[in-house]
């Protein structure tokens, strides 16, 4: 089945220790998104790739970076995680934004 | 004013009754509207999308859109305990095509 896969499902990292979250898709969608969702809050868009074009949200902290080496894969790098970065990180894809987004299962990040 | 507003709930509905979830949005030029269901600890799942004024039905779900009032709703008929979840309203913003989510309404179906 075509899908969006995020690894790992759960990630524990130490305060200040760089961490990378990964996302892959078999839908061949041209747009990939990273959202951060904290408890009882709306998913917050961090950035997205339209094909190879990177688009950063104005309020996304510099601590967050992203890479998309090819159509299928996208990575979220958190350079120095703080306690406030503990959240669910959601990867989503779309075909030029049509018909909404398809989400991966998410990665729950804990910072200790 | 928030771009997408929803009552956070919880909304408690008896099993078998109709659950009505509401959402308002601020961007009058928005054209595409989505409802996602999110179970606790899971990622959002798209259940309905609507582009035109009026009603759109899919099984037990009906999405309703009123662009003049900037209002979109979701009706769930014959509510089941498995419908207990948070329902996120999402609106595709006209100026940049980004989808903006509301905080969600927590729905609890009472057995």
Model pLDDT for residues A2-57, shown as the tens digit of each residue: 699 999 999 999 999 999 999 999 999 999 999 999 998 999 999 999 999 999 99
CB nearest to A42's CB, from B41, B42, B101? B101
CB B21 within 8 A of CB B104: no
Dist CA A95 CA A37 (whole Å): 22
Looking at the predicted structure, is the pLDDT value of residue A90 above 90?
yes
Mean pLDDT computed over every residue of chain B: 94
* Confidence label for A96 from pLDDT (cuts 50, 70 and 90): confident
Dist CA A90 CA A46 (whole Å): 10
CB A34 within 8 A of CB A47: yes
pLDDT score of A11: 96
B:31-90 residues touching chain A, CB 8 A cutoff: 32, 34, 36, 41-46, 49, 88, 90
Q: For chain A, what is the largest distance between any 2 Cα atoms, rounded to a whole number of angstroms? A: 39
Dist CA B97 CA A95 (whole Å): 12
Best mutation target among A31, A33, A42 (most B Cβ atoms within 10 Å) is: A42
- Kindly state the DSSP code that residue A27 receives in the 8-state scheme: S
Instruction: Sort strands B71-76 and B32-38 into parallel, antiparallel or unpaired.
Output: unpaired
Provide the percentage of residues in chain A whose pLDDT is more than 70.
96
**Coil, helix or strand for B48?**
strand
pLDDT score of A2: 63
Residue with tokens 């601020």: B26
* Low-confidence residues of chain B: pLDDT under 70: none
pLDDT score of B98: 84
Q: For chain B, what is the largest distance between any 2 Cα atoms, rounded to a whole number of angstroms? A: 43
Dist CA A96 CA A36 (whole Å): 21
Dist CA A67 CA A80 (whole Å): 17
How do residues B33-64 score in pLDDT, each as one tens digit?
999 999 999 999 999 999 999 999 999 999 99
Residues 6+ apart with CB under 8 A from B61: B35, B47, B48, B74, B75, B76, B77
* Min Cα separation A97/chain B (Å): 7
pLDDT score of A1: 65
- For chain A, the residues whose C-beta falls within 8 A of a C-beta of chain B are 40-43, 45, 48, 88, 90, 97, 99-106, 108
């Amino acid at each position: 089945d075509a899908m969006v896969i995020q690894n790992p499902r759960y990630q524990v990292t130490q305060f200040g220790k760089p961490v990378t979250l990964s996302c892959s898709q078999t839908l061949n969608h041209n747009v990939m998104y990273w959202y951060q969702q904290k408890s009882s809050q709306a998913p917050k868009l961090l950035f997205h790739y339209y094909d190879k074009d990177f688009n950063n949200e104005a309020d996304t902290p510099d601590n967050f970076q992203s890479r998309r080496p090819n159509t299928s894969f996208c990575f979220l790098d958190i350079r120095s995680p703080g306690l406030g970065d503990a959240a669910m990180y959601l990867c989503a894809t779309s075909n030029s934004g049509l018909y909404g987004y398809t989400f991966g299962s998410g990665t729950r990040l804990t910072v200790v | 004013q928030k771009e997408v507003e929803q009552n956070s709930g919880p909304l408690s509905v008896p099993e078998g009754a109709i659950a009505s979830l509401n959402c308002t949005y601020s961007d009058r030029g928005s054209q595409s509207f989505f409802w996602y269901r999110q179970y606790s600890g899971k990622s959002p799942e798209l259940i309905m999308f609507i582009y035109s004024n009026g009603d759109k039905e899919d099984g037990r779900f009906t999405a309703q859109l009123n662009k003049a009032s900037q209002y979109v709703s979701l009706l769930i008929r014959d509510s089941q305990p498995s419908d207990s979840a948070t329902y996120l309203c999402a609106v595709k913003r006209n100026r940049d095509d980004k989808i903006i989510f509301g905080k969600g309404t927590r729905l609890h179906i009472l057995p």
